[in-house]
Amino acid sequence: MNNFFSINIIFLMLLSVYSCVSNNSNSIETKIIGVWQLEREFSNEEEDGPLKEFLLSSCEKLTTLEVLMNGRFIEKSYYEDFGTGGECVKDTWGIQGDWEKGSEGTFNFKYDKNNILFFDNSTVAIENGKLIISIVYYDSDLRYKTMLKFIYTKKLNY
């Protein structure tokens, strides 16, 4: 009887640990879902150079990244159109793709084929409540690998 009781206690402990891990995994996935607003942007200005902040205008900071529950994401970019006197306009292209949970608290973003850049590497993670997207790609104009880092703040939960 004592062994049966001990085995049940061990089983319940393992079940509760598994349950916590599963809930934690789901909560990480749930945290990314919503609308994120662009806060900061960084890039390297020379090959293997350090990342330097690219100062965003108030118009560019209207850019959002919507991460949907169905595994899709949509970025809506804004820029100042100097052809219209600096008016803040929404980019009509829109960047879209699929996302999935990766390993160790990261996420994989796969951009749709109609996007212009082909990335050598990209990582997406949530750090201190911020969505951090880091991208490396070969810039044929500059003839070296360019690194970009975008920091988003959560604007809306679903």
Percent of the chain with pLDDT over 90: 46
Our count of domains for the chain comes to: 2
**Are 9 and 61 found together in one domain?**
no
**Same domain flag for 95 and 25:** no
* Same domain, residue pair 95 and 120: yes
C-alpha atoms less than 13 angstroms from C-alpha of 84 in its C-beta half-sphere: 7
In angstroms, rounded to a whole number, what is the distance separating the alpha carbons of residues 90 and 40? 18
Token pair for residue 148?
A: 């970009």
The Cα-based distances of 32 to 2, 27, 112, 118 in angstroms read: 46, 9, 19, 23
Q: What is the pLDDT of residue 28?
A: 59
Range name among 4-13, 27-36, 53-62, 109-118 with the lowest pLDDT average: 4-13
Under the banding of pLDDT at 50, 70 and 90, the label for residue 20 is very low
One domain, residues 98 and 143 = yes
State which residues form the domain around 11.
Answer: 1-32
Which residue has 């598994």 as its token pair? 18
Q: Are residues 114 and 124 in the same domain?
A: yes
- The answer on 39 and 21 residing in a single domain is no
Mean pLDDT over the full length of the chain: 80
pLDDT bracket for residue 154 (50, 70, 90): very high
